[in-house]
Amino acid sequence: MTMNRNDLRKIDFSLLIVLETLMHERNLTRAGEKLFLCQSAISASLNRLRQFFDDPLFIRMGRTMEPTSRAYEIQRTLTPALDTMAAALGNITEFDPFTSATVFRIGLSDDVEYSLLPDLLRQLRIEAPNISFVVRRTDHSLLAHQLSTAEVSLGVCQCRDLPANAKRKFLRNIRPIVLSANSSAGALDLDQYSNRPHISVSVNGETSDYIDRTLGSLGRQRQVILAVPQYSALRTLLEDTDMLAVVPDYVAKAMTRQGGLRADPVPMTLPNLDLSMSWSATLDNDPGERWLRSRFSHYLSEKSATLLEISAKRIAA
């Protein structure tokens, strides 16, 4: 179906929002909840969309609605078009961080929330004392959906695949560090590392990860005796034991600062990982979001973190 601009009068643009939401949710009830509409209203909108596009668009399979090939085709061009329209229609106003009372919804991985958020928040409280944050837990498997549904406007984690309309900025390299109890002797060689029991931090409860794949390539293996979903309990679990845990360098710095643990290099070369922030292109020019991204970039980048640490030591002295 070929359309010109006059043909745009034939469709209610709110139907396109319904279509995009259904593509993400695959369920009439959940789509209604996202859009604050009842299920019957979503059903009626879907019927109108089917008539307009002359295609079923979604086929019910159990409890989900599976998109047709035509629906996927529409989504590929619809999402960036809606992003452009939202940016064009947005009311661009000045943003004063010192007086603004904006509530920002951000996604943070557990390592970032545990070790980097406290210092970041202290800095932002000085610059913007009236803003608020709602933090949602995120990771590489959740962030794409959270950005596309506007559950968060900004996400910080190890990023992989993102929607076509998302943008990303590198913040810092993630250097793995071995944590162990203070009573442990010095740095470990590969044999000692492989023979000691391990704790793994895994949101999904996995006991095998990139470390095990690297060990396997070296003809070694380790025993993970405990997998926990977050970092907050790790320090207590490691103290007074012979267990080991591999964590990002910034997590190790936060934990060893409290005493009771030591940090040592990992006795092998592991794949490079990086920490990035990601956001929807829809919000690329929003003044408040641009300010927020600038502060995250400034305070969470590796260079800035080092400067903050030096500054804190000078103040303490």
- Domain spans of the chain, in order of start: 10-84, 103-174+274-316, 176-271
- The neighbour count for residue 182, using CB atoms within 10 Å, is 12
Residues in the chain with pLDDT < 50? 307-308, 310-317
Name the class of domain 10-84: mainly alpha
Q: What is the pLDDT of residue 166?
A: 85
pTM for the whole thing? Answer: 0.67
Structural tokens at position 19 = 């279509």
Please give the pLDDT value at position 316. Answer: 43
CB of 74 within 8 A of CB of 121?
A: no
pLDDT at position 105, please?
95
**The residue to which tokens 């159990």 are assigned:** 62
The dihedral through the CA atoms of 12, 16, 18, 19 has a sign that is: positive
> What pLDDT, on the 0 to 100 scale, is given for residue 56?
94
Superfamily of domain 176-271: Periplasmic binding protein-like II (3.40.190.10)
Q: What burial letters (b/e) apply to 270-298, b meaning 16+ CB within 10 Å?
A: eeeeebbbbbbbbbeebbbbebbbebbee
Whether 10-84 and 103-174+274-316 share one fold: the answer is no
Whether the CB-CB separation of 301 and 172 falls below 8 Å is answered with: yes
For residue 167, count other CB atoms closer than 10 A to its CB.
14
Architecture of the structural domain at 103-174+274-316: 3-Layer(aba) Sandwich (3.40)
Phi, psi values for residue 152, rounded to 5°: -135, 155
89-115 in b/e burial notation, b at 16+ Cβ within 10 A? eeeeeebebeebebebebbbbbbbbbb
- Residue in 107, 199, 114 with CA at minimum distance from that of residue 147: 107
